[in-house]
Each structure stands twice: as structure tokens, then as C-alpha cells.
Amino acid sequence: MTTVAPAQHQHLHQRNQFVELALALVAARGVDDLLAAAPTALATALGNERRYRVIEARDDEDTSAGWPVPLVRDGRRVGTLLVEGESLPDAALLSPVCDLLAAALAARRQVADEQARALKEAAELKFDTVAMLSHEMRTPLASIKGYATALLLPDAAWDDATRTEFLEAIDAESDRLTALIEDILESAAIEAGVVRLELEPVLLPRLAARVIERISIQSSRHRFLVTFPPEFPAVVADAQRIEQVLTNLLDNAVKYSPGGGLVVVRGDVCPGEVVVRVVDQGIGIAPEDVNKLFERFFRVARSRSEGVGGTGLGLPISDAIVRAHGGRIWAESVVGSGTTLAFTLPHPRAGEHV
């Protein structure tokens, strides 16, 4: 007959309790489940004569009902294991459980902190966005209001030329406001994933010439050049949306080269795709900003401070449109010399005969 010495028996009993406890806790799915299961697991494994409560560290925590065992993680108390009973269980059993509970509480707190931070950042971004959009809308509205009020002044006798000038300004500022609202809607639609492409064969040289014709009216300081090789193929694309991309890029080329200069739209045929580049001789973009251009609402600080109107939505919208076609868009720039914004559109047979 095998006899077990009392000390050995105690050791075996403890080991069984520990295994039972570990199994109960390991079965928990996730941190919350583990924290909820811990009191029962402890009572089942260590005997029903005591009750256990896991209390998260709070200012108002009440631990007067039992033995408070601090739950410490990385030197910080994250909670308390409250043991209600005559005495505490063996420290050798309790201590690994406390470590586990402390780790679980710390993990839960970290997730909660991160969620709170993300919510705060989202709220700040929303506020910044609304503030920026309100500012952008207020500027043309203030002009419209100013000219309209001037025209309505009962005592003012405006001559025809001045009246026309004021009405033209109202007309231009209204267009600006409409474009801004369209950009905001478009951006929201892209974000919500409700943009559908209407594909058809598109002749990019013709489309580029049309956009240039429209944009060149806005600036007498710029010269425009469209250059496409004769074998440039038709691409299958949504003509209206690609026109929007070219309009955004050409608008920017003009806006960000206040001193004027040459603006070139160049097409190239490469294996499997076509590349369109819009090249300007403007202010350029610093290397640290180039990769941020396609983030929503990003504007280079200098563009803001120099009062050039914009929302920081044109390039993200263009990026989404180009990507929806299976293409890429990128910028290359040298501060003070100019910027090239380029995009590709796939063309399965492009470049075959080049």
C-alpha cells in the first residue's frame, strides 16, 4: 500500500487546485470573459468557504467587506481581488491568479484608453473639418453678400460697368460655392462606397484638350500645352470622372503657380497602361508633404497661409477615382521649380506595338 506523507499530500492537493483553476481560466474567451469567470473558478478550485470579487481600480471602490489583495501590473495598481472569508488562501496559489487578473485588467484598461483616445481624435477631426469647411464656405458667401448688399443700396447709383462687375463676382463666387459643395458630397459618397463607374471608350487627348480649353479661360498668366503620341489608344473609363480628375489636377497646376508659367498635359503609352502627367512650374511641394497630398483635407501649410482657396479634397477624390479604375496616382515635385501629378489607367493592349 502506498502512503502519502501529509506534506506531499498538501502539495498534490494544491497542484490539483492550481490545474483546475488554470483550466477554468484558460477556457475563458477574451479578457471580459476571464474577469467574469474568475470568481467562480476561484471558489470552485479553492473551496466554497470563501467568495471572490474582482474590482477595477476606481476612486470609490469599497473593499471593507473582505481581504483586499492588490492587483498590480508594471508597478501600477489596476484593481483589487476582494476575498470574503475567514482567511486568505495560500499565497502560492493566489499570486499567479492575481498576476493573470492584473494582466487582464491592464489589457482591458488599455483597450478602453485607446478607444477613448480614438473617439477624441475623431471628434477633433470632425470639428477641424467642420471649422475648415465653414471657413471655406464663408469666404464666397461673404463676397456674394457684400456685392448683393452694395447693389441693393437705395442711394447708390452704380453705372452699368460696375453693376456688371458686381454681378460677375456674385456669379463666380456662387460657382465656387457649388464646386465646394459638390466636392464635399463626392468625398462623402466615395467614403460611403456608393460611387459607380460608367465605363465607355474614352479618348484622353480630346478630353484633356476640352478641360484645358475651360481652365485656360481662368488664367492669362499661364500657357497650356497638350501632348499625346499619335498612337495613344482609347481607354475604357468613366469619362465624366476622368474629366473630374484632370480638372482637379489642372486647377491645382494653375492655383499653385501664381507666377504663371507653362502647364503641360502629357500622355504616354507604357506596357499594360497609359500614363497622363500634369506638369506645372509652380511653387512645388516639400518632400515631407508629397506623400500626404492624397489624405483627405490635407493642405500644405503654405497654401493655407497664402490664402489660396481649397479644401484638401481634390486629390483624395482624384485618387479614389483613379484607383476605382485600377490605376495609380502620384506626385513628384521640387520646391520652387514645379510639380508633376501623374496617373495611370490600365489598358491591356497598351504598348504592344511600341
Which positions lie near ligand ADP, rule CB under 6 A? 248, 252-253, 256, 280, 282-283, 285, 293, 298-300, 303, 310-315, 339
Rounded to a whole number of angstroms, the minimum distance from the CB of residue 251 to ligand ADP is 7
Comparison of 47 and 258: residue with beta carbon closer to ligand ADP? 258
CB of 322 to ligand ADP, least distance (A): 13
Residues in the chain: 354
The rounded distance, in Å, linking the Cα atoms of 83 and 60 is 18
- Cα separation, 146 vs 143, in Å, equals 5
Cell numbers 479578457 label which residue?
31
Coil, helix or strand at residue 286:
coil
Comparing CB distances to ligand ADP, the nearer of 18 and 298 is 298
Q: Do 247 and 183 meet the contact criterion of CB atoms below 8 Å apart?
A: no
Other residues' Cβ atoms within 10 Å of the Cβ of residue 129? 15
3-state secondary structure of 334: strand
Task: For ligand ADP, give the closer residue by CB, 17 or 143.
Answer: 143
Q: Which residue is nearest to ligand ADP (CB)?
A: 310
Give the residue with the Cβ less far from ligand ADP, 24 or 189: 189
233 versus 312: smaller Cβ distance to ligand ADP: 312
Could you tell me the CA-to-CA distances from 107 to 34, 72, 77 in Å, in that order? 12, 12, 13
Q: What are phi and psi of 340, to 5 degrees?
A: -120, 125
Closest approach, Cβ 132 to ligand ADP, in A, equals: 10
Minimum distance of ligand ADP from residue 248's CB (angstroms): 6
Minimum separation from the CB atom of position 99 to ligand ADP (A): 51
